[in-house]
Amino acid sequence: MAVRPVMLITGASSGIGAETARAAAKQGYRLVLAARSEEKLKGLQQELGGEAQVLTVQCDVQSGDEQKSMVDQALKTFGRIDAVFANAGRGGEPGGFSKADPEVWKDMILTNIYGVGLTLQHCLPALRETKGHLLLTGSAAGRVTIPGSMYSATKWAVSAIGYGVREELRGSGIRVTLIEPGMVDTPFFDEPPAHALKPEDIASAVMYAVAQPDHVDVNEILVRPTPKVE
């Protein structure tokens, strides 16, 4: 009997993370779902098969201790981790480099960059064991220049992390994929954007990458909304 693979997702309580959890469950994955609020994950846990199929973990990705505990709980519960989706992130606020609240910058940088680094550090030993798949949520904003955007700067950093960890892991059997969405209609925005991708669209990109045979390494998937018809 084939062992069902395990996918760990940070930032799993809503948006891209939650939709990826749903898509992965349909493909037979057992799930480790992590977010700052474990309470928000409980409904998703019940929806996707209960405790036997889904482990929920309260985890602030800025905390190395909490990320270590997340991995320890995953291995204790399921015995393996086959895919890690480092998806947790947050946006900034208006004001550009001249006027934005630097405390918002600090939290965003620690979540979007430091938190991703901690996820890699704590999850890679388990991925080495399974020759698994590492996926990171970058952004189209990490490939272009956006005036006054510290958020864009953090996503440029995520791109650099993706390139760098791929080279570090070369020959290990671990595949690395940068998922780079354009604008997506998620709780990230106070008001739903008029012309945007859906979280399900990005979940489909994640599942495309992990569904490829072992000899195929999808390095990057850049997904933008189709331009509006004039």
- Looking at residue 186, what is its pLDDT? 64
- Looking at residue 177, what is its pLDDT? 98
Model confidence at 63, in pLDDT bands (50, 70, 90)? very high
Q: Is 151 a catalytic residue?
A: yes
70: left (phi over 0), alpha (psi -120 to 50) or beta: alpha
CA distances in angstroms from 51 to 23, 28, 30, 90, 135, listed in the order given? 18, 15, 10, 28, 24
- Region of poorest pLDDT, from 2-16, 76-90, 128-142, 188-202: 188-202
DSSP 112: I
Residue 35 near residue 8 (C-beta atoms within 8 A): no
pLDDT tens digits, one per residue of 149-194: 999 999 999 999 999 999 999 999 999 999 999 988 665 555 556 6
DSSP 143: S
- Looking at residue 220, what is its pLDDT? 98
- Looking at residue 120, what is its pLDDT? 98
Q: Tokens standing for 41?
A: 């994950």
* Cα–Cα dist 48/43, whole Å: 9
Least Cα distance to 196 among 163, 157, 226, 171 occurs for 226
- Looking at residue 184, what is its pLDDT? 81
Model confidence at 2, in pLDDT bands (50, 70, 90)? confident
* Cα–Cα dist 27/12, whole Å: 17
Indicate whether 115 pLDDT > 90: yes
- Looking at residue 191, what is its pLDDT? 59
Residue where the block lists tokens 């009997």: 1
- Region of poorest pLDDT, from 21-35, 61-75, 193-207: 193-207
3-state secondary structure of 130: helix
Question: Which candidate in 29, 114, 151, 163 is catalytic?
Answer: 151
pLDDT tens digits, one per residue of 76-92: 999 999 999 999 999 87
Sign of the CA dihedral with 184 first, then 222, 141, and 70 last: positive
pTM: 0.94
- In Å, the largest CA–CA distance within the chain is 59
